[in-house]
Amino acid sequence: MKFKDYYKILGVDPSADQGEIKSAYRKLARKYHPDVSKESNAEDRFKEVGEAYEALKDKEKRQAYDQVRNGGFRQGDEFRPPPGWQGNQGGGFRTEDLSGFSDFFSSLFGGGFEGGFGGRRQPQRSSRQPGQDQSAKIQIDLETAFEGGTRRITLNRPTQGPGGAVQTQGQELEVKIPAGVTEGQKIRLRGQGQPGQHGGPAGDLLLEIGFKKHRQFEVDGRHISLQLPIAPWEAALGAQINVPTLSSKIRLTIPAGSSSGKRFRLKGRGLPGSPSGDQFVILKIVVPEAKTERQRELYRELESEYSFDPRASV
């Protein structure tokens, strides 16, 4: 039989931690899943990466495999178990649990042959494969992102109906939204993805967060910004104005002689986090319409009183 380098199959370094191994497996399993892959050898590669992950995901089985690999074996080398090696090492499998694995895997972990190595394989059943992760997007209010809360969502899942016809069926899930979640962040719901095969665990559901358009605030990461309308006399003379934030209103002092576009920073008034975001207030001078003769006269008086050219620098 041929030696299998499970690290090479998964494309990871032998020093990789369990998280890296799991991530590499999921990536390859999605790539070669027979239901979606167009690769000519997709089914074989799918089984191969599943076998590699089965050997490396468990600490004891991985130690047993490393013990053999450290003897100098590499991918494709002729292999026979070392003298004195016994099956079922590394917290292994019973013969009936072996499921479509190679002779090499069975020789290390299952003793899955009658009469010892090289004998006739016992009947096996299909491999337990974890289900694929799924992705979806949800839109939440900015206030929910600030405060946290729960959202009930409905997912349409494909199911097999009468006669094998594929139908969609709605499933309701309650999602906990953490305070300070940002746009584009993903929330993982364990076990809510595609069901596993042959008794394998279900995959996860990854929900990508999007924000609904807010009537007042613009969002940039954890920072928010607000266009604050002010009257010309407030800009000229200065004023104290109530400014909305995501938690309450605060009193902001506008210095005399302020112009449109002037920015004020309210530290820590954005979305919570480590650190929290800030809120930026941008002034926008709004000129009232002169509707009466007296109002037009006041504008003419203002014009004659000032020798002011707003386009002097243009």
pLDDT digit string, tens, across residues 162-195:
654 555 677 888 999 999 999 999 999 888 887 7
pLDDT digit string, tens, across residues 9-27:
999 999 999 999 999 999 9
H runs (alpha helix) in 41-172: 42-56, 59-69, 103-109, 142-147
Q: Are residues 165 and 224 in the same domain?
A: no
H runs (alpha helix) in 168-221: none
Q: Are residues 271 and 301 in the same domain?
A: yes
Average pLDDT for residues 129-157, to the nearest whole number? 87
Residue 96 has pLDDT above 70, yes or no: no
Q: Are residues 81 and 148 in the same domain?
A: no
Average pLDDT for residues 109-137, to the nearest whole number? 56
Q: Are residues 64 and 100 in the same domain?
A: yes
- Residue 298: count of CB within 10 angstroms of its CB: 12
Q: What is the CATH number of the domain that holds 17?
A: 1.10.287.110
Q: What is the pLDDT of residue 59?
A: 86
Q: Side-chain half-sphere of 51: how many Cα atoms within 13 Å?
A: 26
Residues 6+ apart with CB under 8 A from 216: 226, 244
Please state, rounded to an integer, the average pLDDT across all residues of the chain: 83
Residue 95 has pLDDT above 80, yes or no: no
Residue 90 has pLDDT above 80, yes or no: no
Q: What is the pLDDT of residue 93?
A: 47
Q: Are residues 11 and 99 in the same domain?
A: yes
Q: What is the pLDDT of residue 69?
A: 80
Is there a domain that residue 310 lies in? no
Q: What's the DSSP call for residue 255?
A: P
Residues 6+ apart with CB under 8 A from 234: 241, 254
Is there a domain that residue 124 lies in? no
Residue 83 has pLDDT above 50, yes or no: no
Q: Are residues 75 and 97 in the same domain?
A: yes
Residue 48 has pLDDT above 80, yes or no: yes
Boundary-marking domain end, from 185, 211, 237: 211
Q: Are residues 96 and 151 in the same domain?
A: no
Is there a domain that residue 75 lies in? yes
Peptide bond between residue 255 and the one before it cis (omega within 30 degrees of 0): no
Is there a domain that residue 114 lies in? no
- At 13 the three-state DSSP class reads coil
Q: What is the pLDDT of residue 168?
A: 63
Q: Are residues 226 and 291 in the same domain?
A: yes
Edge-to-edge strand order for the sheet containing 223-230?
Answer: 217-220, 223-230, 279-285, 263-266
Structural domain boundaries enclosing 23 = 6-109
Q: Are residues 205 and 225 in the same domain?
A: no
Residue 261 has pLDDT above 90, yes or no: yes
Is there a domain that residue 96 lies in? yes
Higher-pLDDT residue of 55, 101: 55
What is the domain count for the chain? 3
Q: Are residues 89 and 14 in the same domain?
A: yes
Higher-pLDDT residue of 99, 241: 241
Q: What is the pLDDT of residue 144?
A: 94
Phi and psi for 286 in degrees, rounded to 5? -110, 120
**What percent of the chain shows pLDDT beyond 70?**
82
Whether the full predicted model's pTM is greater than 0.75, yes or no, is no
Q: Are residues 139 and 223 in the same domain?
A: no
Is there a domain that residue 120 lies in? no
Q: What is the pLDDT of residue 161?
A: 56
Q: What is the pLDDT of residue 123?
A: 41
User: Highest mean pLDDT: which of 81-85, 100-104, 173-177, 256-260?
Assistant: 256-260
Is there a domain that residue 253 lies in? yes
Q: What is the pLDDT of residue 81?
A: 61
Q: What is the CATH number of the domain that holds 296?
A: 2.60.260.20
Is there a domain that residue 123 lies in? no
Q: Are residues 223 and 289 in the same domain?
A: yes
